[in-house]
Amino acid sequence: MLNPIALAVPFFFVLMGVELLWARRRGVRVYRFTDAVTDLSCGIASQVILIFWAATQLAIYAWVYQHARLVNLSPSWGAPWLPWVVAFVGVDFLYYWWHRLSHEVNVLWAAHVVHHQSEDYNLAVALRQAVLTSWTSLPFYLPLALLGVPTLVFAVIHALSTLYQFWIHTQLVGKVRGPVDWVLNLPSHHRVHHAINTQYLDKNYGATLVVWDRLFGTYEEEIEAPVYGITKPLASFDPMWAQIHYWLEMGAMMRAAQRPIDKLRVWFASPAWKPEGYVVDTPPIADRTKYDRPITRKLAVYVGLQYTGVIAATFALLQWHHALPRTVVAIGVLAVLGALIAIGALLERRTWAVRAELGRIALGGLAVSLLLSSGACRRDRRPVSVHTLDGESTILPKRQSSVLTTPKTRTSMQTIDVDGKTRRYLLVEPSAFVPAKKYPVVLVMHGDGGEASGFHQGYSFERASGDDAILAYPDGLGFTWDLETLSDNRDVKLAEAIFDELAKRFPVDRSRLFATGYSSGGFLANVIACQRNGLLRAIASNAGGAPYKQAQTWPNGYAKCPGQAPTAMLALHGEDDYGVTLSSGRFSAEYWAYVNGCKTDEMETTGYDLCRVYRGCPAGKAVGFCPVPGLGHWVWDHAAEATWSFFQTQSSAVTP
């Protein structure tokens, strides 16, 4: 799944540049280099750490939606827009209450305070985010799952709400009058929220709408010039200190509290409350000066250049982490965090800054080394000649549109025990089985953050296979798949268990077992074929890639599973896919062409104009590649019919 926040990063920097130029033209200074860098560092730290638990948080929401929803906002109601409207209003309303309580309850404020520490107010401040607020806000959004808002709808609306709030962090847009001022959250409203002027404290909590503040008495109009920051200044450009300082302050308050009830109260009282005897030095607004540490031009240039690399690495991690080995991702995240710490130390002129800088450079080098050695970046650059067939392709013929009809099938959710864990899969079976007929089985696997039912709605493979196949859409644990375990892989074992279970219940042709998937599900199809010699007759990968981490390697350096044998494979991939790039799909075809012993420098046309197959492959071990112009990180409209056509030809081919 594409990360909309990551995709927006270039636009963030363009708009910050526009704001900077606009401010200079107006003769005002809204940016300080040191403060802006710290803002960005806090935001980067939040996003790269989110890599490790974003899927878990979404899985929690999806679990509540699947198992506890009270309402089913189904398109069958005749209102497909209804879930989106409920999500928009609900996200905005629940955000208001999470935001308000994050200013009124200490334990929530400890996470949220990071966003308010800057003593400037500009678009960079919008990116100053806390590591823990995604966890503190999650419980507030779970009522939407109970109300039947689908997981994908919630995720999209929540991302759009976050993106909207970027532009309101500016001093350059004045007050707006009229109906818009009464409905939308505007820069003047949010400037009040970030101010520490007495009359502005704890006001204007809205995200997209300001109506909640007007309804619940927390609205305040901007009158006098705001003073930004927090009542007790952070006085640091260290992004990690920014994340933890208030937690340590709460610990100090607990130690200072004399009564047990006050020790407990520290966590749940207002940030304005302090235990008896605990004194906080809060300078009067009139006497405040912004914290600053002057730096040389050379240091500013050095930090700017290094930060360019940090931003590039962060963008790559956010966008492609699911397609990279987890070890590479972990080391990469540590290298980014190390860079943020080192840059903060340089700005603060800490004595250990140079050592931190050398350490993070070493971590970055290790991450790059692991990436290159993993095989994830290997690409065969040999030129490939394409031969045009005079007649119809016998490997990938185009299916007639008349075949693509609404099939006579029935669906049901099934459970199966795998290594003591209850796993689920959506079963799609023919409504009636033909006597004495053996049926193929196709595993259809969702991508990261998805689940079986939702993926089936978007990719109904039976539209191509009709009632001639049994389909199983498994659910991944935590809404993802294990692509790296080399032995006793839980998801490979799940595939085997599903095949065995279906063979007991239905007339299954064990010589025609197939697997296809989208994104990480496409990667998993490759992993199953790699790790289970002879289990699958053929696989197809949509926006996925080849196995990239195994214990052994082929002579050319490609990853190899013990006992791996040739398997027919079709790779389908969007040319505009920036989640798992086109090169990943191309490499997966090149990988299997090599493993299967095809002529890796010769291909031929097929019944589909976009698809090519390698020449010289053994019978029943064909390999094809379909690059789709204009397609992003999703499944091609003709993917099911092309895949089923490919599976059928490989089923009928005689394997030597």
Q: How far apart are CA 14 and CA 422, in angstroms?
A: 48
Q: Is 486 helix (H, G, I), strand (E, B) or coil?
A: coil
Q: Is 509 helix (H, G, I), strand (E, B) or coil?
A: strand
* pLDDT score at 377: 55
Report helix angle 33-68 to 297-320, nearest 10.
10
Sketch the domain layout of the chain as residue ranges.
10-240, 297-373, 386-652
- Given the structure tokens 């990480």, which residue do they identify? 520
In eight-state DSSP terms, residue 397 is P
Q: How far apart are CA 13 and CA 427, in angstroms?
A: 47
* pLDDT score at 380: 46
Tokens at 322, concatenated = 């699911």
Query: What is the length of the chain?
Result: 656
* pLDDT score at 78: 53
- N-terminal to C-terminal alpha carbon distance within the chain: 40
Concatenated DSSP letters of 514-573: EEEEETHHHHHHHHHHHHSTTT-SEEEEES-------SEE-TTS-EE-TT----EEEEEE
Residues 6+ apart with CB under 8 A from 430: 407, 408, 409, 439, 467, 468, 470
Asked if residues 592 and 380 have their Cβ atoms less than 8 Å apart, the reply is no
Asked if residues 588 and 567 have their Cβ atoms less than 8 Å apart, the reply is no
Give all strands of the β-sheet with 439-445 in edge-to-edge order. 385-387, 599-605, 612-615, 623-628, 568-574, 538-542, 508-518, 439-445, 470-474, 421-430, 409-418
HEC string for 123-176: HHHHCCCCCCHHHHHHHHHHHHHHCCCCHHHHHHHHHHHHHHCCCCCCCCCCCC
Residues 6+ apart with CB under 8 A from 96: 205, 206, 207, 212, 213, 216
Tokens at 510, concatenated = 């064990």
Instruction: Give 82: exposed, middle or buried? Use CB within 10 Å, 0-12, 13-18, 19+.
Output: middle
Specify which residues 514 forms β-bridges with.
Answer: 442, 538
* pLDDT score at 151: 83
Task: Cite the DSSP H helix spans in 558-638.
Answer: 582-596
CB atoms closer than 10 angstroms to residue 309: 14
φ, ψ of residue 559 in degrees (nearest 5) = -60, 140
Q: How far apart are CA 5 and CA 137, in angstroms?
A: 17
* pLDDT score at 75: 46
Residues 6+ apart with CB under 8 A from 579: 1, 2, 319, 320, 322, 323, 519, 543, 632, 633
Asked if residues 560 and 550 have their Cβ atoms less than 8 Å apart, the reply is yes
Asked if residues 103 and 271 have their Cβ atoms less than 8 Å apart, the reply is yes
Q: How far apart are CA 603 and CA 480, in angstroms?
A: 34
pLDDT along the chain (656 residues), means of 10: 69 94 94 95 93 82 85 62 92 97 97 96 96 95 92 89 95 91 95 96 96 97 95 93 95 93 94 90 84 92 93 86 77 92 93 91 86 58 74 80 64 94 94 93 92 89 93 91 87 96 96 95 94 94 85 83 91 85 89 94 93 94 94 90 94 56
Tokens at 98, concatenated = 């999470």
Task: Give the burial string for 209-243 (b: 16+ CB within 10 Å, else e).
Answer: bbbbbeeeebbbebeeebbbbbebbbebbbbbbbb
Q: How far apart are CA 421 and CA 415, in angstroms?
A: 10
- Given the structure tokens 């799944």, which residue do they identify? 1
Q: How far apart are CA 618 and CA 581, in angstroms?
A: 29
Specify which residues 443 forms β-bridges with.
Answer: 472, 515
* pLDDT score at 423: 95
Tokens at 370, concatenated = 């692991």
- The CATH superfamily holding the domain 386-652 is Alpha/Beta hydrolase fold, catalytic domain (3.40.50.1820)
Concatenated DSSP letters of 212-242: HHHHHT------SPP-BS-SS------HHHH
